[in-house]
Amino acid sequence: MQDSFAFIIHPLNAKRDVSRKYPSLGKLPAWLIEFLSIFYPPVFVSEIEGVQSTENGRTLKGWFVACSLTPNMMLSLPTKLVYRKIVQTGKLAEKLGARILGLGAFTSVVGDGGITIAKQLNIPVTTGDSYTVAQAAHAIRKAAVLLDKPLASATVAIVGATGAIGSVCAQLLAPDCGKMLLIGRRTERLKEVATAVRQLGCQNVQVSANIDDLAQAHFIITVTSAVDAIIEPRHLCRGAVVCDVSRPRDVSKQVAEQRPDVLVIEGGMVEIPGPVNFNFNFGFPPKMAYACMAETMALALDKNYVSFTLGKDIKLSQVQTIDTIARRHGFKLGGFRSFERAVTSDKIAFVKDALKSTQNAVSAVPYINPKNDISVESVNL
């Protein structure tokens, strides 16, 4: 039996994303597209060709299949209905011949993180969160190199450090950074994470429940379960880099609009090994994919057909294991994305200059909005 996989995608923006597959349907009002999507069956999107291991030349057959619900619908509709729609899409993947299924975007967020979905399918399921975490750490390390700011002389912050993903991110970067700031809601849990970080090599650790403290950080990974954006322009120092792993996003779009001196990235794009052709434009350059997609492919190339990442709890060992598997087969960080657009070399250069212009090692730049209102209210996590 040929090694194979499938990956579930879904429209993030009703009009824009539906138009990519069905131009005429995309002309309808967004509200009508969303209403119709409740009744729309799973969609075969494309066959993925050319994924090939650099280790042994093994190739994969793959498919994109789509669940018709948007993020807003997945968060607002009854969970059982959302589960049913995702499971139906998984059944389509089974019929196509997939031997493992990856849950993309919000299909991995709703409910219990894929556990219930996996129980109703006959093939293993993975959310891809483990490799997403690994790539977030790689992205921060790469950004530090590009900005010529070694992590050993920088302050690295983890927002949402009390959660499973945040805790693992902190542990992954602990051996590299000079100071770490852990931000979260649960004081006792923050202390536990701080202890783990110190044991892994970073002795200068600060814990906080106040988002305003973020202004002292050069590099930030944010991964919370907040429904609305919690990081605003005023929270960031000049030349800061923010890796936003959360969905919905933790970083306000106003940061991109009002703080050109700051770099916000969505983890990192992964370069897929082999002459890959997705036969579908999901907004990435050729050969590039999300880390969650790459985790599914890497497991299939490794013939590791197990439900690798499920639920809300992720362990450091899981992240290290999938990172090793992916690296062995040729997956690697391929670039940065920011608010669904590729980060250019000019943007990197601009942020680098902004960072260099900062006089002190840690210097917050107050954000002054157009109304000259500089009052700041604390946001507790």
Give tens-digit pLDDT for 285-323. Answer: 899 999 999 999 999 999 999 999 999 889 999 999 999
Alpha helices for the chain (secondary structure H): 14-21, 30-37, 71-76, 79-96, 115-119, 129-146, 164-173, 187-199, 253-258, 291-301, 316-329, 345-357
Q: Is residue 33 predicted with pLDDT exceeding 90?
A: no
CA dihedral 254, 258, 261, 267 (to 10 degrees): 20
* Same domain as 215, residue 344: yes
- Does 262 lie in the same domain as 279? no
Q: Kindly state the tokens that stand for 153.
A: 């002389």
Q: Is residue 364 part of a domain?
A: no
Residues 185 and 92 in one domain: no
Average pLDDT, the chain: 88
Residues 6+ apart with CB under 8 A from 34: 14, 70, 72, 73
Is the omega angle on the peptide bond into residue 248 within 30 degrees of 0, that is, cis?
Answer: yes
**Together in a domain, 295 and 350:** no
Q: Are residues 346 and 319 in the same domain?
A: no
Amino acid at 60: L
Tokens standing for residue 283: 């907004």
Question: Of 82, 46, 89, 91, whose CA–CA distance to 67 is shortest?
Answer: 89
How much is the pLDDT for 310?
95
Structural domain includes residue 73: yes
Q: Distance (Å, rounded) from C-alpha 70 to C-alpha 9?
A: 10
Q: Tokens in use for 327?
A: 């690296």
Q: How far apart are CA 57 and CA 256, in angstroms?
A: 41
CA distances from residue 298 to 31, 98, 144 in whole angstroms, order as listed: 37, 14, 26
202 with 322, same domain: the answer is no
The per-residue pLDDT for range 65-105, each reduced to its tens digit, is 999 888 888 888 999 999 999 999 999 999 999 999 999 98
> Measured between alpha carbons, how far is residue 321 from residues 8, 138, 167, 280, 325 in Å?
23, 15, 17, 30, 6
Q: 55, exposed or middle or buried, with CB in 10 Å at 0-12, 13-18, 19+?
A: middle
Q: Are 216 and 189 in contact (CB under 8 A)?
A: no
Does 224 share its domain with 352?
yes
242 and 223 assigned to the same domain? yes
Which residue from 258, 260, 263, 262 is spatially nearest to 371, judged by alpha carbons?
258
Segments forming the whole domain that contains residue 115: 4-130+272-333
User: 33 with 123, same domain?
Assistant: yes
pTM, entire model: 0.85
Verify that 216 and 167 share a domain, yes or no: yes
pLDDT for 18 equals 73
Q: For residue 368, is it within any domain?
A: no
Instruction: Give the per-residue pLDDT at 376.
Output: 28
In eight-state DSSP terms, residue 59 is B
pLDDT at 196: 95
* Mean pLDDT of the region 338-359: 87
Pair 236, 344 in one domain? yes
Residue 349 lies in a domain: yes
Domain count across the chain: 2
Main-chain dihedrals φ then ψ at residue 135, nearest 5 degrees: -70, -30
